[in-house]
């Protein structure tokens, strides 16, 4: 039987949600022994698996360097290390924009730089390394107090050594959420 490690974090040792359980059952019905495995568990023998697939490693943002070092050491990791490294830091958005891919207008602020965001409209400040809404705050530049709070938030992220992205707030996120585009073997799934 083919053994597959579905990599997760300690907070979700059985993966994240009922859909994951159904996926494991479907794989088992096809003769694949898929099991959740926590990436920080030092007792795991990663070479004992026929494939290792990253699923719910939500804690990588706490120590992205350790996560990437772990990923580079795992044999048969289906998620290519260069892609993981590129995707772990949202600076990739600027590379996409340079390549002509339309993105939300984004300004990168590095530690040691001043954070500017204009004086009108809603905007978000987010760390370059993060997941979901972790470290993301929304502000309205129309109000002096909000601009002051935005400066404090940005400075806290910068003082922690993180880069900061400043983007106009996208109201559609509230109404429609975000959509992931998944490609398998170069084909849109």
Give the H/E segment covering residue 2: strand 2-8
pLDDT over 70, % of the chain = 99
Highest mean pLDDT among 78-82, 124-128, 172-176: 124-128
Its pTM stands at 0.82
Cα 3 to the center of its chain, rounded Å: 26
Token pair 């070092």 is found at 69
pLDDT at 18 over 70: no
Q: What is the DSSP letter of 106?
A: -
Which run of H or E residues covers position 173? helix 171-176
Sign of the dihedral through C-alpha 150, 156, 157, 158: positive
CA–CA distance, 102 with 96 (Å, rounded to integer): 8
| Burial class of 40 by CB neighbour count within 10 A (0 to 12, 13 to 18, 19+) | middle
**52 pLDDT exceeds 90?**
yes
pLDDT in tens, 80-119: 899 999 999 999 999 999 999 999 999 999 999 988 887 7
Query: What are the tokens at 22?
Result: 């159904």
Tokens of 47: 């070479």
């Amino acid at each position: 039987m083919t053994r597959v490690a579905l990599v997760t974090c300690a907070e979700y040792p059985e993966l994240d949600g009922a859909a994951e359980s159904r996926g494991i059952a479907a794989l088992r019905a096809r003769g694949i022994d898929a099991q959740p495995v926590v990436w920080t568990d030092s007792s795991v023998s990663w070479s004992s698996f026929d494939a290792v697939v990253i699923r719910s490693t939500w804690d990588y943002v706490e120590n992205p360097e350790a996560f990437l070092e772990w990923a580079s050491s795992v044999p048969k990791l289906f998620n290519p290390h260069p892609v993981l490294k590129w995707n772990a830091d949202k600076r990739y958005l600027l590379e996409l924009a340079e390549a002509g891919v339309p993105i939300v207008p984004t300004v990168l602020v590095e530690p040691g730089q001043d954070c500017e965001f204009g004086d009108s409209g809603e905007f978000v400040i987010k760390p370059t390394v993060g997941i979901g809404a972790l470290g993301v705050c929304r502000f309205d530049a129309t109000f002096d107090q909000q601009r002051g709070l935005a400066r404090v938030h940005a400075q806290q992220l910068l003082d922690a050594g993180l880069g900061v992205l400043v983007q106009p707030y996208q109201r559609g996120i509230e109404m429609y959420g975000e959509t992931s585009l998944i490609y398998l073997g170069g084909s849109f799934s």
